[in-house]
Amino acid sequence: MFVSTIQDKDSSTPSNYSIPFVLERSADGERSYDLASRMMQERIIMIDSDFNSQMAHIIKMQLMYLDSRSAQPITLFVSSPGGSVHDGLGIKDVAKNCRSPIKTIVMGYAASMGCYTQSVMGTPGMRLMGADSFIMAHQVSSGTKGLIIDQKIALHHSDRLNELLTKQIAEACGVSYDKFLKDVDRDLWLNAEEALNYGTKGFVDGILVGERNEKGQYKVKRRDGSFDWV
């Protein structure tokens, strides 16, 4: 969910899982990498947890590092239930200031802040989605506590965040603010085809339909029914 205020929330970060190591052999000998570092060499970043301060800290560092090394595209694989709005906006601000294009690929599902990442952070034309994946958009959820006056302030802030995110997603998808606000009055779940054809721009620009080619590009179906490689 979008979480707009400080709130107790169990993290879904897979901290109990060890990151595999891979061994590569070359003329210079053998070298081992943890798999996350190996993916960084391919300019791939995984967003596969809720949005929280720890994951945002890591994602922002990864984006800034990769962008400093090259202007080649950075790929974000997104599979997330959402989470903290402020942490997600921090990632978005870093991504939008990168010279590198941002390719986003939903694998599984991208809900709430994950949906925002997919629709708003991705460079137009490079917002992609697995054929059996889902998008879910909804309004901001507000967790408030404390004095009544502080709860009113928090709710006002949540309302501002809801307007900000709703306007940005609506613009990215090519629908009016009022239509999008109505559509997300309750959880809006869309499959890949529905996400592709939503509004005039869609939540995504293409659906993955084939294996990668020798250049590492994905075969993608566009909303006009054509196919190309991204």
Catalytic residue set: 112, 138
For tokens 């307007």, the residue is 163
Helix or strand (DSSP H, E) at 86: helix 85-96
Exposed, middle or buried: residue 170 (CB in 10 Å: 0-12, 13-18, 19+)?
A: buried
| Cα torsion through 160, 165, 166, 169, rounded to 10 | 160
Q: Return the structure tokens found at 101.
A: 């294009």
C-alpha to C-alpha distance for 230 and 212, rounded to whole angstroms:
9
Which residues are 210's β-sheet partners? none
C-alpha to C-alpha distance for 221 and 196, rounded to whole angstroms:
9
Asked if residue 133 lies in contact with residue 106, where contact means CB atoms within 8 angstroms, the answer is yes
Phi, psi of 128 (to 5 degrees): -115, 170
